[in-house]
Homo-oligomer: A and B are copies of this chain.
C-alpha cells in the first residue's frame, strides 16, 4: 500500500552529505562589494600598521632625553622648529631642546621619541620664534604609536572563510586590497512542485495556495551566503519534469526541490532520482518536522528533496543544505550555532522523535531563554516569522517543563558550529 522507509539518525544524514567534498571557488570583487562576503583566503598584513612611528595625540614631538631634568620647579624650554599635520613629514632634524608641533597621526620627526600633549605645554614667543615649556619629564616612547604596534607585515589577521564585517573592511582598505579574494557564491537551483501551487500574483481559488516555500528558501539561501536560480514550478508531466531537473543540474552547484518527496500518490521526485541514476543518500530521517527530507547525489552535485510543508522545508534546508553551502564558502564552522537556553514555558507534547521547534531566543539578565514562536504544526507558516532559532527537543520523552535547559540552533548567527550531532 505505501512504501516503508527506514529513518536514519540526523547526524548520520548530515554526515552522508558532508562526505561530498564540494569545492569552493575564489573570485575577486572590488572592495566596495566585499562587505558581507566570505574571505576565500587568509587575510595577511601586507605592511606593518602603523608603517611609521606616529603621534597618537596633538602636541609637541621632543627628545625624551631633553625632558629628564624637567619638573615643577625646573621647567624646560623648547624651541618649536616645525609644525606638521597628519600626512606631512618634517624634513628638519630635531636637536637638543628643540620640538616640532605635531598633529595626531603625523610621523614622528627624526630624532624625537616622545610627544608632549598640548594640555601640559605652555607656549610663548620670543622675537617671533615659537617656544614651549614643560614642567615634567617624559620617558622615551611616551605617547608614541610605534611602527608595527597594531599589526606586523606577514601576520595572518583573519582566517579564510570569515564573513567580512565592517572591521575587516577597514583592514582590507588598510592593506591595499583594491580587489578582495572572496568565495564565489554557490549557485543553488530551486524548483517547486505541487499541483496546488499558485504563483504570488495569482488569485486564490478553492484547494490551491500560493507558493511560499520558494520565496522562503530563496531568502534562506541568501542568508547563508548563496545565490539562487529559481526555475519555477516543475510541470506535472513526468518526462518534462525529468528533463527540467536534468538540465538544471548542468547549470547549478546544488539543486533544491520542495515537495513531491513523500510517499503520497503524486510524489514523483523519487522516480526522477531513479531515472537519473542518482544515488539516494537517505529518504527518511528520524526527526520532526522534515522526516521525509530526501538527499541524493548525482555527478558530484547534490539534490535536496525537501518537504512541501513550510516548516519541514525550512528545517530541512537549515540542517542539510546550509552546511554544504557554508563549506563551499570556506567556512570552518558550517553548521548552525548550537547553544544552551532555558525553556520558558511548558512544552507538553509527547515526543517520539527528535523535534525541531521554531523558537524565539531572548536574553534576560545575560541568560538565553527560549520559547516556541507559534503553533507547532508543520504547516504553520506564521511561526516562522518570529523564529530566530530552532529548539531541539530530543525524542522519547513525554514533554518538557518550563525551566528545563534545552539546545537551541541560532538562525541569525554568523559564528556557526563545527559539528554538533
State the main secondary structure of chain A at its contact with B.
loop
Q: Is A106 an interface residue (CB 8 A)?
A: yes
**204-244 of chain A: CB within 8 A of chain B:** 204, 206-220, 222-223, 230
Do B265 and A85 touch across chains, with their CB atoms under 8 A apart? yes
Q: Is A384 an interface residue (CB 8 A)?
A: yes
**17-68 of chain A: CB within 8 A of chain B:** 31-32, 35-36, 47, 49-52, 56, 58
Copy number in the complex reads 2
Q: Which residue of B lies closest to A211 (CB)?
A: B173
Q: Is A345 an interface residue (CB 8 A)?
A: no
Give the total of A residues in contact with B, Cβ under 8 Å. 109
Do B176 and A200 touch across chains, with their CB atoms under 8 A apart? yes
Do A382 and B196 touch across chains, with their CB atoms under 8 A apart? no
Q: Is A298 an interface residue (CB 8 A)?
A: no
Q: Is A103 an interface residue (CB 8 A)?
A: yes
Do A196 and B35 touch across chains, with their CB atoms under 8 A apart? no
Do B158 and A385 touch across chains, with their CB atoms under 8 A apart? yes
Which residues does chain B contribute within 8 Å of A230, judged by CB atoms? 32
Do A150 and B385 touch across chains, with their CB atoms under 8 A apart? no
Q: Which of B158, B176, B196 contacts A87 (CB 8 A)?
A: B196
Which residues does chain B contribute within 8 Å of A103, judged by CB atoms? 264-266
**119-155 of chain A: CB within 8 A of chain B:** 123, 145, 149-151
Do B167 and A385 touch across chains, with their CB atoms under 8 A apart? yes
Q: Which residue of B lies closest to A52 (CB)?
A: B206
Do A170 and B310 touch across chains, with their CB atoms under 8 A apart? yes
Q: Is A350 an interface residue (CB 8 A)?
A: no
Which residues does chain B contribute within 8 Å of A104, judged by CB atoms? 262, 264, 308-309
Stretch from A72-80, A269-277, A334-342 forming part of the interface with B:
A334-342
Q: List 20 A-B contacts (CB under 8 A).
A: A31-B200, A35-B218, A58-B264, A85-B264, A85-B266, A87-B197, A88-B195, A105-B196, A105-B209, A165-B412, A168-B385, A169-B215, A172-B200, A173-B211, A174-B210, A175-B210, A176-B200, A176-B201, A340-B365, A366-B405
